[in-house]
Amino acid sequence: MVHNAVEMENVSVTFNNQPVLTSINLKIGMNDFLAIIGPNGGGKSTLLKVILGLLKADQGRVTVFGNKPGNPHNPIGYLPQHVSFDPDFPINVFDTVLSGRYHGFFKGYSDDDRNLVKKALEEVGMLNFQDRQMSRLSGGQMQRVFIARALVRDPKLLLLDEPMASIDPEMQNSFYKLLSRLRERMAIVLISHDVGAVSTQVESIACLNQRLYYHGPVENSEKGLEAVYKCPIDLISHGIPHRVLKKH
Amino acid sequence: MTGILEYSFMQNAFMAAVLVSVACGLVGTYVVVKRIVFISGGISHAAFGGIGLGYFLGVNPILAAIPFSIISALLMGLTSKKVKISEDTAIGILWSLGMAIGIIFINLTPGYVPDLMSYLFGSILTVPVNDLIIMFILDIIIIIMVILFQREFQGISFDEEFSQVMGMPTTVIYLLLLSLVALSVVVMIKVVGVILVIALLTIPAAIAKQYIYHLGRMMILSVIMGMILTTGGLYISYLFNLASGATIVLVLGLGFLVSLLIQKLME
């Protein structure tokens, strides 16, 4: 029986002899909603890539749902920070999401897959755009399509790399509502360099700057943030629902 | 137009133009959307080494060029992933090495030295039936590979990192795609020449990309555009007694300009 979505023990990663992650210990439970925050270059994306199996840890042990990272059966949905795609690429919304149902060599897509694509598009409010070219979407719409592509696999763990970066301000509330629906059926890990971007939904916070500082519930995390950023932080952010600060 | 088809060499030339358009439309679509034009140019020039080797060993140059260009395609693809030099540097090195090897082998071949110009711009008017058969078989192989691996090729062209997360062996698929480029290059190099290969791999697909937003339909339009423009170029070269390969390239280029203008007017 697997109890945790992700377990990392003493994980270290170096690039060109520069340590990027050092002695990371992290457990992500099946229903956690964890925000990992830290400065740019602090290793946040690297951490996600280790969980995804895109990068190998130089040291330590990583299991994802009891498997090795990179196992294609690991039920992970992933929203990359920058989708490295050519904005002119000839593909529409439906086919983009359908590629999230990939089953392996010589296995085509079934009607079941197509229905799941429609469900995922409905969930993010993009069903009306299913025939639209990707190149004709706004940044925020594109983001929602890529979330649908992550959701269409029916993941048990959703990894969001800087999801707020390309979302229009007016979209933020509906994005949080979406997350609060999703968290009932999956663990969510959200990484951000923007402390203010941490939503009301987040349960626990960890800070990452080469080393990981796990702070548990949100209210206790203020001190930890200061330790990572090495300066006092103003946790008030206007116009964004948040509860990073204690009630006072 | 019917008059010129009475010559059997013209029939062969038109057949070659059609067969080449099929390979170029399918593979060229990936070349354009995945932006691997430069590596395709490198493969086509490196394949020249195989042609020279074939002459030197006294085997059909096309058959010698198949392994030669596939190996150089794999070397170019692998160096960028495994060795600490950038991909375009690796391409540049293999590009010139391949050409040099080809010329040295042709130099060393005793007896009749084939005309080098015909390898740059091809000799579509002298395509033997044997080569047509090889081209036809390679076209079939390319069509089957594209049908079998369409999801993977689209995946690595659109979003390589996500495809890897989905469990695709992206490096293997990329090398497979480069091998397809090598195959399509090989058939064409003797028939249409190194320079025309790049024009055919890029221009029809670039025209289609302006109007079509679907990979499969883009391939079909590229094949049709390739057929119209290459046979058109061939006909014009016959009418005005011009070099066929160069005329075809110019007609392709003209077609691209016209499509750009139409696209601008439509906006």
Collapsing DSSP to helix, strand or coil, A90 comes out as coil
B166 has a chain A CB within 8 A of its CB: yes
Give the pLDDT of residue B55: 86
> What local confidence, expressed as pLDDT, does residue A227 receive?
53
The answer to whether residue A80 is domain-embedded is: no
- Residues of A whose CB is below 8 A from B168: 102
Beta bridge partners of A214: A206
> What CATH number labels B3-266?
1.10.3470.10
Put simply, the answer to whether B152 touches A105 (Cβ < 8 Å) is yes
**pLDDT at residue A46, rounded to an integer:** 92
Indicate if A23 and A141 belong to the same structural domain.
no
Q: What percent of chain A has pLDDT over 90?
A: 41
- Say how many domains are in chain A: 2
Examine the pLDDT at A245 and tell me if it is beyond 60.
Answer: no
Region of B236 (left: φ > 0; alpha: ψ -120 to 50; beta: rest) is alpha
Residues A111, A67: one domain? Answer: no
Summarised one tens digit per residue, pLDDT across range B238-250 is 999 998 888 999 9
Check CB contact under 8 Å for A83 and B159.
Answer: yes
**Residues in chain A closer than 8 A to B159 (CB atoms):** 80, 83-85, 99
Interface test with B, best of A99, A132, A135, A151 (most B CBs within 10 A): A99
Q: What was the pLDDT predicted at A82?
A: 73
pLDDT value of position A243: 43
Region of poorest pLDDT, from A31-35, A52-56, B83-87: B83-87
A64 plus A90 within the same structural domain: no
Confidence label for B262 from pLDDT (cuts 50, 70 and 90): very high
The reply to whether residue A86 touches residue B209, judged by beta carbons under 8 angstroms, is no
Residue-number span of the structural domain to which A117 is assigned:
85-154
Strand partners, A18: A15
Strand A157-161 with A187-192, pairing: parallel
The domain boundary residue, chosen from A107, A136, A154: A154
The verdict on residue A239 lying in a domain is yes
ipTM of predicted complex: 0.85
- Hey, are the CB atoms on A99 and B166 less than 8 Å from each other? yes
Q: What's the one-letter identity of residue B51?
A: I
Cα B18 from Cα B20, distance rounded (Å): 5
- Mean predicted confidence (pLDDT) in B48-54: 88
pLDDT tens per residue across span A198-208: 656 677 888 88
Each residue's pLDDT tens digit, A4-22: 899 999 999 998 888 889 9
Q: Does residue A247 have a pLDDT over 80?
A: no
Chain B CA closest to residue A95: B214
Q: Which distant-in-sequence residues (6+ apart) come within 8 Å of A152 by Cβ?
A: A97, A98, A100, A101, A116, A117, A119, A120
B32 three-state secondary structure? helix
The pLDDT of residue A248:
38
pLDDT of amino acid A237? 42
Residue A206, beta-bridge partner list = A36, A214
Domain boundary among A154, A177, A212: A154
Mean pLDDT value across residues A134-159: 91
Kindly determine whether residue B161 and residue A90, on different chains, have CB atoms separated by under 8 Å.
no
Taking CA–CA distances from B29, the nearest residue in chain A reads A90
Q: Which residue has the higher pLDDT, A97 or B59?
A: A97
Closest Cβ–Cβ partner in B149, B154, B167 for A72: B167
Shared domain check, A169 and A58: yes
Do A30 and A11 sit in the same domain of this protein? yes
